[in-house]
Amino acid sequence: MPERRTVALVTLGCARNEVDSEELAGRLEADGWQLVEDAEDADVAVVNTCGFVEAAKKDSVDALLEANDLKGHGRTQAVVAVGCMAERYGKELADALPEADGVLGFDDYSDISNRLQTILSGGSVEAHTPRDRRKLLPISPAERQVAGAGVALPGHAPVEAPQDLPEGVAPASGPRAPLRRRLGSNPVASVKLASGCDRRCSFCAIPSFRGSFISRRPSDVLGETRWLAEQGVKEVMLVSENNTSYGKDLGDIRLLETLLPELAAVDGIERIRVSYLQPAEMRPGLIDVLTSTEKVAPYFDLSFQHSAPGVLRAMRRFGDTDRFLELLETIRSKAPQAGVRSNFIVGFPGETEGDLAELERFLTGARLDAIGVFGYSDEEGTEAATYDGKLEQDVVDERLAHIARLAEDLTSQRAEERLGETVEVLVESLDEEEGPLGRAAHQAPETDGQIRLTGPGASGGLQVGRMVMAKVVGTEGVDLVAECPEEAGR
């Protein structure tokens, strides 16, 4: 019997890319490939790239070069780029990075096995030709579900699932659904709620290579969540470019409010978390569901980006400091312990000292649990790249450093406000030195800090995936220390 072909998936970027990698893993394993964890043990290393900002693109190139260095020194014979950077640049990336043996776009995902086999056999696969994916779907959201059947939508494109799938590979929801194979054993997993974005923020290129907004059907999301629960997942994080738009192309903009309780009722799931929320699209009903539904985390990942009205208008966004603070007050009046995080861009073209002071006023009053701060840089193909009023790089760097220091101080203060709170912690790892580590409802994976458990309940017997009640007794920057009694959870 011939030795099975081996493949490793190296994932960079956001949680949406992680879902895409698990779709590719499912497709490949269903077609006979053996998945391995390390690129050096694989015949083909597939690097799922990020194309969002310059730093992420550099990380993607570095990962491709690192994988390429393995060729000739071990098993690795080919390195292939997929993901957002490959989709966005295609042939341009292939020309600039000849070390990559293939540059594949989203349209190649459905036939990924044959593409990799061709490359592994010494053949060539034509590099992906980029195109504006917003033009692949109708302008009218109501017409997209039918038209979307012929468009590659990573993470939720329907395929004919084989009947004899390998163990651990499953159609997410019925015989016509994405294949998915978990690439780790973490008790947290992301589920795509939608793909693409209809917003036209002047600084963002994502819609051009991810396409227009299109929702997954509730039955698909529920089916995938049930399958993940069977795999031992305890927390599901709903991801997309804009979760607050979910359902608008299905005829019901309030569909998320009805879907969340159904997801929370799935056997085995202990927590549902929603990410990527637009402040301008927050509805009273959605706030109510997020703050009052059992097992739904009162967690608000709100994309503020700035708070000065002039900067927001130039960004093609809405709101201001006072309206944003009112939104946060509404949320906390319903759930005082609610977690809130956001990202901000400083140094945007035309940003004044007064605008920066207005952002400081918002940050000081917002009491955010986690803050990401980025300095503005031109993104190819965006409206903002054509703006006048660009700030000198040293000014951008100075403002970035200033706001980043402020953010660090404010989030540490917010962590201290949680002293004495009782929190429900999902145990995610058992560190030999630090002991059990996990996260509470106000902390999302990777971005928002963690909790170190102490006390009699943490001294032994805790297992990864268990939910425990604990009292916050200390802080370590944005991280918390919580004491766990002997009988503390489920």
Residues comprising the binding site for [4Fe-4S] cluster? 14, 50, 84, 197, 201, 204
Give the integer Cα–Cα distance in Å for 141 and 143.
5
Residue 443: phi, psi to the nearest 5? -125, 115
What are the tokens at 112?
């990924």
Give the integer Cα–Cα distance in Å for 248 and 216.
11
Residue with tokens 């005082």: 336
Q: From the CB of residue 306, how many other CB atoms can be counted at a distance below 10 Å? A: 25
Residue 478 in contact with residue 448, Cβ under 8 Å? yes
What are the tokens at 351?
């940003």
Helix 255-264 with 218-230: angle, nearest 10 deg: 20
- Using DSSP, state whether 218 is helix, strand or coil: helix
Which residues pair with residue 475 across a beta bridge?
Answer: 480
Known binding positions: 14, 50, 84, 197, 201, 204
Give the integer Cα–Cα distance in Å for 196 and 141.
12
Give the integer Cα–Cα distance in Å for 3 and 419.
56
If you compute the radius of gyration of the chain from its CA atoms, what whole number of angstroms results? Answer: 23
Q: From the CB of residue 448, how many other CB atoms can be counted at a distance below 10 Å? A: 23
Q: How many CA atoms lie within 13 A of 181 on its CB side?
A: 24
Residue 475 in contact with residue 242, Cβ under 8 Å? no
Give the integer Cα–Cα distance in Å for 52 and 148.
24
